[in-house]
Amino acid sequence: MRRTASRNLATVMLSEAKHLLCEYRQCRPFASLRVTVFIACVHAAWLFLTGCTAATPGALATPYPTLSRPLPTLTPGPLHLAEFAPIERPSASRGMERYTALCESCHGETGRGDTALARTLSPRPANFHDLEFLRRRTPSSLYHSISKGVLGTGMLAYEGQLSEAQRWDVLAYLWTFHRQSDELAAGQSLYAQHCAACHGANGAGGLASPLANPSLLAGRTGYGMFNALSGGLPATPNHEWSTMSEADRWAIVEYVWTFMFGKE
Ligand code: HEC
Ligand code: HEC
């Protein structure tokens, strides 16, 4: 009984809709009144029809669009800060001069630590192309070694010869040896795509902490940042880009370092 009633109702409404459409096209007066009446009818009919279709409510629900990946949950936590951080942005080009004068004899012109003098030393001077070495160290700890030296090795303390800013400058210079410009460019565009929405363009911050904060970056390691992009932030569980290739995640990390060391 109800089914025939609803079919009749549907037929009536369809013809009314056609009628209204004709009137609208010809710009007849009173059309708007009829539209109001029509809408009221649709509502009444809807109430009637939903009674019939109560058995299949799922069919009426519009599914939510699915996101390709969930957004990280925003739970800013206390960030541990570096023991040593530059007060102003270090300059690799200023550092180059000091490096040539004071460091090159052991660490080499290209930073590979393979000079004649280096070969006489044990342990050998650090090789600044060694990614395993660089990714495990914080800039803060390298700055500490440059300042105080490494006890029992050929690495002497430079705090007497170089000011704080000059020590950060040589560190910024030795940081350039392992860099590749195509990797940095890739990192820059991946950052814009995946990170800038929360951490801001150029790391200026926004929804999440500014990354262009030397006190934050100087206390991080490359591996630490890589892990933070691979689901390793306990307080921010969805902070994960594990489907991105490792090379791309490393490119982002390299780009993030430029917020502290610059791009020169
Ligand atoms: C939806 C927002 C959001 C996006 C997108 C995002 N982050 Fe984060 N990120 C956070 C939050 C929240 C934290 C927790 C610390 C804070 O900022 O309060 C965090 C923390 C970090 C940290 C610090 C980790 C530590 O050691 O304490 C780094 C580094 C970082 N993000 C890098 C990135 C990079 C690189 C990208 C792009 C691949 C990215 N984030 C994308 C929200 C985001
Ligand atoms: C006489 C040789 C010599 C000179 C000159 C020298 N270094 Fe070193 N440097 C070394 C040796 C050897 C090591 C390895 C120490 C070790 O294995 O812990 C080293 C290690 C380092 C490290 C890594 C420290 C760490 O914590 O692992 C840094 C950074 C560094 N040197 C920077 C410099 C800078 C900057 C200069 C110039 C201002 C300089 N070095 C001059 C011999 C030298």
Q: Measuring from each residue's beta carbon to the nearest atom of ligand 2, which residues come in under 6 Å?
A: 102-103, 105-107, 121, 123, 125-126, 141-142, 145-146, 150, 153-155, 158, 170, 174
Rounded to whole angstroms, the Cα distance separating 53 from 33 reads: 30
Give me ligand 2 centre to Cα 146, in Å.
Answer: 7
For residue 54, how far is the Cα from the chain centroid?
A: 46
* pLDDT tens sequence across 90-143: 999 999 999 999 999 999 999 999 999 999 999 999 999 999 999 999 999 999
Structural fold of domain 181-261: Cytochrome Bc1 Complex; Chain D, domain 2 (1.10.760)
- Give the mean pLDDT of 12-41: 48
- Give the mean pLDDT of 77-95: 88
Rounded to whole angstroms, the Cα distance separating 167 from 161 reads: 9
Supply angle C-alpha 171, 174, 93, rounded to 5. Answer: 80
Asked if residue 178 lies in contact with residue 134, where contact means CB atoms within 8 angstroms, the answer is: yes
Rounded to whole angstroms, the Cα distance separating 230 from 211 reads: 17
Rounded to whole angstroms, the Cα distance separating 105 from 117 reads: 7
Q: Which of 145, 150, 148 is nearest to 159 (CA)?
A: 148
Does 152 have pLDDT greater than 70?
yes
Supply angle C-alpha 11, 12, 15, rounded to 5. Answer: 85
Q: Among 155, 158, 163, 176, name the best residue to mutate to test ligand 2's pocket (greatest count of ligand atoms within 8 A of Cβ).
A: 155
- Give the mean pLDDT of 61-79: 47
Tell me how crowded residue 263 is: count the other CB atoms within 10 A of its CB. Answer: 13
Rounded to whole angstroms, the Cα distance separating 200 from 191 reads: 10
**Integer angstrom CA distances of residue 260 from 56, 91, 205, 218:** 59, 10, 14, 8
Looking at the CA of residue 141, tell me the nearest atom of ligand 2: 26
- Can you read off the two tokens belonging to residue 13? 């409404």
| pTM of the shown model | 0.78
- Give the mean pLDDT of 215-228: 95
Could you identify the residue written with the tokens 């610059």? 262
Ligand with minimal distance to 90 CA: 2
Rounded to whole angstroms, the Cα distance separating 17 from 22 reads: 9
Those residues with Cβ within 8 angstroms of residue 95's Cβ, 6 or more apart along the chain or in another chain? 166, 168, 169, 170, 171, 172, 173, 174
Residue 216, strand partner residues: none
* pLDDT tens sequence across 153-200: 999 999 999 999 999 999 999 999 999 999 999 999 999 999 999 999
pLDDT band at 2 (very low <50, low <70, confident <90, very high): low
If phi over 0 gives left and psi between -120 and 50 gives alpha, with beta otherwise, what is residue 108?
left
| pLDDT of res. 130 | 98
Give me ligand 1 centre to Cα 127, in Å.
Answer: 30
Those residues with Cβ within 8 angstroms of residue 237's Cβ, 6 or more apart along the chain or in another chain? 72, 73, 231
* Superfamily per CATH, domain 92-174: Cytochrome c-like domain (1.10.760.10)
